[in-house]
Chain A
Amino acid sequence: MSDVVITTHELGKRYTLGLHGHGYDTLREAMVQAARGALRRVGRRPSRPSRNTLWALHDLSLTVRTGEVVGLIGHNGAGKTTLLKILSRITEPTSGYADVTGRVGSLLEVGTGFHPELTGRENIFLNGAILGMRRAEIRRRFDEIVAFAEMERFLDTPVKRYSSGEAVRLAFAVAAHLEPEILLVDEVLAVGDAAFQRKSLGKMGEVAKEGRTVIFVSHNLAIIQALCHRGVLLERGEAVADAPVMETIDRYLRTLERAASNDLLERTDRDSRGYEESLVRRLEIRDASGGTPDVVVGGRPVTIVVHVTEVVPMMECRLTICNNLGQPIMTLDSEVSAPTDIRDGELGPCIECDIASLPLLPGRYRIDVLLKANRRVQDGLQAAAFFDVEPGVMADRPMPASGSDGDVVLPHNWRLPG
């Protein structure tokens, strides 16, 4: 039962940065460059534009045995998805090698290859084939797939008439009935409504129990913790921890905090999508007195201040507060504006978010931030700041002292029989 199914040996993947945008990616430019290059060679001035390269994976050596359920944890850009892409043969490594034994099924995105013009039935066959199922196999499991998706009535309707939830349900149902020896899953469980999510999670748990090997990537540490036994922490393309899942999660949370306490501009795991007119410099949590305490009190007013490098027209900001397992609890989004929102020309290079009464139970929380301007994402950082909440008073009612019954507390009143 403990055969090795995946071995990677000093696996590396190098990407060339700025290929799109900075390099030449039209034939016209390529020809111009080639002509210039030829001229330059004549003029004996050899100058090759040095391109930035990035090792998305670096010397990664890992062994996975049959039946293991491994969670890959790490920041954006740590190499998790790259590893899955190499193992599922979508892309080739630049150095080293990986030996993979058995059929690999990869769920890097639910519904890949769904065609809107085809009916549900046709898409089941197409999608199954794309995922690597044989036609006979799909036919055998067809009814099961349809039942799982609860889509019996719409089988002969083109998928373009489905709601997005329905399409996703059907896609996941197909994927869930894949029977590979090795299953690679990337962040696909967060689909559909809550009931379907529970069902999907149950299915994933089943797969794991059946003794198949699963490698699982998610930012949701609670799901990782629930499904995986072993956790591998990737940082800048290298495995920095490989241990039982709880240990790795703890280690990851500590690295998150370290990253948050540093200057945010030094972080490389940002999601800036090429526009970097303005970056998040620092996040600050202020209490009513304007100080920046280490601990804030539940129920009291707080202000979250996002310091940015540049004031750019039409700035918007989104803050997502997550609990200590990385589960998002609430999102505060300036794009969804209220009449009381203010644009202040005197404010300077920062964005402030006032919370009149912090509705959080005691515990440790983190803030993810997404900065937009000119209708484009400028910067995104996970775990931009951490803060601890102490029990306080919410609407004259003392809060529970621990957050074991949820994370949020609301102002409320009871009416009880006398």
Chain B
Amino acid sequence: MEQLTQSGPEAAGAAAAEAPATPETIRLQPTRGFSRVLSPRELWRYRDLALQIAARDVTVRYRQTALGALWVVLQPVGFMVVFSVIFGNLAGLSSEGLPYPLFSLAALVPWTFFANALLLGSDSLVANAALVSKIYFPRIFLPAGVVAAGLVDIGVSLVILFVIVLAWGVVPSAAVLTLPLLIAIAVAAALGVSAALSAINVRYRDVRYVVPFAIQMWLFATPVAYSSTLLDEPWRTLSAINPMVGVVEGFRWATLDTATAPLALIAISAASAVILLLAGLAYFDRVERGFADLV
């Protein structure tokens, strides 16, 4: 199996495959404008590291906490219970004729993914300061790894969502097939925002105290506990500039078989998520080169 006595060109096989006959020369100089993050070549070269970092984040999360996977499920389900009691029963908020627990859980699943990605992602560069100041790699892998690890979480909580939905006797329609698209919108928004936040966090260390508060505000600005139908048009459609509006309403439609498809909301949120992603990456790229000096 192992070829221990390899030498020369063969041993460097993997590297040689990428850089044939003559190894390329890289010029290191002060960069202006955009440089590394958006260079697909650079990201491809380090693809193994991207996987390793994401795998690390997943492994550590599921191993470190005593409750393991249960923790991931507990968060949205716990909120569902609290929301059902406070908003569903006491406040009597409308839930579009759906059972309030299902109504809120379908929204809490993508929201929890988004909120966790922001919370952990914004801290990812500072938390890996030792790495950033000692080794070169595309720094975007750190916030991206957090978001990717979150995908495992949302996978687990989706399973729970479906179990509860089916147990309630609700059967999702074919709209369930849009879930990957909706998750993609959430990923784009989460990556864009957490990349920007992680970069700001390197420069200004008090950002980490602001982030949890901002996430709370964002939660109330998103129709998680309430229905977006509470808003009158055109405000309802405009509110989809918040990418999580389209995602959350889309999730309800996809998993609970609600009557009307919120297609306009989803389209606007998708566009907004792409803009957030590009803006976040662009900002990250501009400040990335200084990270090692600041961290």
Q: Which residues of A contact B (CB under 8 A)?
A: 15, 19, 25-28, 30, 85-103, 106, 108-109, 112-113, 115, 117-118, 122, 125-126, 129-137, 140-144, 179, 181
Chain B 276-295 near chain A by CB (<8 Å), digits 1 or 0? 00000000000001101110
Compute how far the CA of A19 lies from the CA of B46 in the bound complex, rounded to whole angstroms. 32
Compute how far the CA of A367 lies from the CA of B140 in the bound complex, rounded to whole angstroms. 45
A27-B207, A130-B131 are contacts. A143–B2 as well, Cβ < 8 Å? Answer: yes
**B204/A93 in contact, CB under 8 A:** no
* B271 in contact (CB, < 8 A): no
Compute how far the CA of A97 lies from the CA of B27 in the bound complex, rounded to whole angstroms. 7
Compute how far the CA of A273 lies from the CA of B193 in the bound complex, rounded to whole angstroms. 35
Compute how far the CA of A387 lies from the CA of B52 in the bound complex, rounded to whole angstroms. 52
**B133/A117 in contact, CB under 8 A:** no
14 CB contacts below 8 A, A to B, read: A25-B204, A26-B205, A27-B204, A27-B210, A88-B135, A90-B136, A99-B26, A101-B23, A117-B64, A137-B13, A137-B14, A140-B3, A140-B6, A141-B2
Question: What is the minimal beta-carbon distance from B45 to any residue of chain A, in angstroms?
Answer: 9
Chain B 12-29 near chain A by CB (<8 Å), digits 1 or 0? 111100010001111111
Contact partner of B28 (CB less than 8 A), chosen from A92, A109, A141, is A92
Question: What is the minimal beta-carbon distance from B137 to any residue of chain A, in angstroms?
Answer: 7
**B60/A27 in contact, CB under 8 A:** no
Compute how far the CA of A306 lies from the CA of B52 in the bound complex, rounded to whole angstroms. 51
* B232 in contact (CB, < 8 A): no
A140 contacts across to B, CB distance below 8 A: 2-3, 6
CB-nearest residue of chain A relative to B288?
Answer: A92
Compute how far the CA of A124 lies from the CA of B12 in the bound complex, rounded to whole angstroms. 18
Question: What is the minimal beta-carbon distance from A336 to any residue of chain B, in angstroms?
Answer: 29
Q: Which residues of B contact A (CB under 8 A)?
A: 2-4, 6, 11-15, 19, 23-31, 46, 48-49, 51-53, 55-56, 59-60, 63-64, 128, 130-137, 200, 203-207, 210, 289-290, 292-294
**A134/B14 in contact, CB under 8 A:** yes
Contact partner of A90 (CB less than 8 A), chosen from B2, B128, B135, B294, is B135
CB-nearest residue of chain A relative to B293?
Answer: A91
**A117/B135 in contact, CB under 8 A:** no
**B28/A100 in contact, CB under 8 A:** yes
Compute how far the CA of A287 lies from the CA of B294 in the bound complex, rounded to whole angstroms. 48
**B29/A101 in contact, CB under 8 A:** no
Compute how far the CA of A74 lies from the CA of B292 in the bound complex, rounded to whole angstroms. 22
Q: What 3 pairs between A and B have smallest CB-CB spacing? A: A97-B29, A89-B136, A27-B204
B210 contacts across to A, CB distance below 8 A: 27
Question: What is the minimal beta-carbon distance from A179 to any residue of chain B, in angstroms?
Answer: 6
Given contacts A90-B133, A92-B28, A113-B128, 7 further A-B contacts (CB under 8 A): A90-B136, A92-B290, A98-B29, A99-B28, A101-B25, A129-B49, A135-B48
**B12/A117 in contact, CB under 8 A:** no
Question: What is the minimal beta-carbon distance from A127 to any residue of chain B, in angstroms?
Answer: 9
Compute how far the CA of A181 lies from the CA of B25 in the bound complex, rounded to whole angstroms. 12
A181 contacts across to B, CB distance below 8 A: 23
B56 contacts across to A, CB distance below 8 A: 115, 118, 122, 126
Question: What is the minimal beta-carbon distance from B122 to any residue of chain A, in angstroms?
Answer: 12
- Among B19, B28, B210, the one with the most A-chain Cβ atoms within 10 Å of its Cβ is B28
